[in-house]
Amino acid sequence: MNKICFVTGNKNKLIEIQQLLTSYDIISLPDLNFYDDIPETEDTVEGNALLKSNFISKKFNINCFSDDTGLFIDALDGLPGVKSARFAGDKCNSEENINLVLKKLQSNSNRSASFRTVICLIINNSKHFFEGSISGKISEKKVGEGGFGYDPIFIPEGSKKTFSEMTVDEKNLISHRSIAVRKLVSYLNKYG
């Protein structure tokens, strides 16, 4: 089986990806004994995805892919956007990020938002990008126990549930990440 590194230390993301990309042996950063942070210093999700893939590809001489995702909220002029993971500060957690979003939208009736994921694949020193996005809205409060990140406050278009209320399988049918991963899978299946 082909081995490829998913440049992440996030177990939830890894589980989602492993369920979608079954024809490859997916390893992650802990499998490489790599626990350092790769600073995400670019001002676009594409730039951060490329930065992370480049770093690991060069350091370990391995085929790899990374993703970067942003939550773009219309009423906040696209924030948190590329800074989604650090919206409430450099050392913040998801809870603090969610609370800040809800606070900033407190008296705003425009709740529309979108999630956007870009995957950068580096395979045999060649770079490829795959994108997925989904529109939806921000709920008034946190709902659901599953998922991670902003999932408890994001309701995808056409649904009454937040991502946190969905099973992994339900989320994988429609999520921004799964759309990008399906494009990646399609490419790798043709490639491999």
Residue 142 φ/ψ region, left for φ over 0, alpha for ψ in the -120 to 50 degree band, beta for the rest: beta
Task: Give the ranges where 78-131 is alpha helix by DSSP (H).
Answer: 94-104
- Domain of residue 178, CATH code: 3.90.950.10
Report the pLDDT averaged over residues 105-125: 95
Predicted pLDDT of residue 188: 84
Which residues are known to be catalytic?
Answer: 68
Query: Whose structure tokens read 């770079």?
Result: 127
Q: Are 7 and 64 in contact (CB under 8 A)?
A: yes
85: domain range?
2-191
Q: Which of 8-22, 124-138, 147-161, 175-189 has the lowest mean pLDDT?
A: 8-22
Query: Whose structure tokens read 């009454």?
Result: 160
Pairing state of beta strands 80-81 and 64-73?
antiparallel
Predicted pLDDT of residue 185: 86
Report the pLDDT averaged over residues 113-132: 96
Pairing state of beta strands 80-81 and 24-28?
unpaired
In the chain, how many domains are there?
1
Is the per-residue pLDDT at 87 higher than 90? Answer: yes
Is the per-residue pLDDT at 192 higher than 70? Answer: no
Give me the count of residues in the chain: 192
Is the per-residue pLDDT at 191 higher than 80? Answer: no
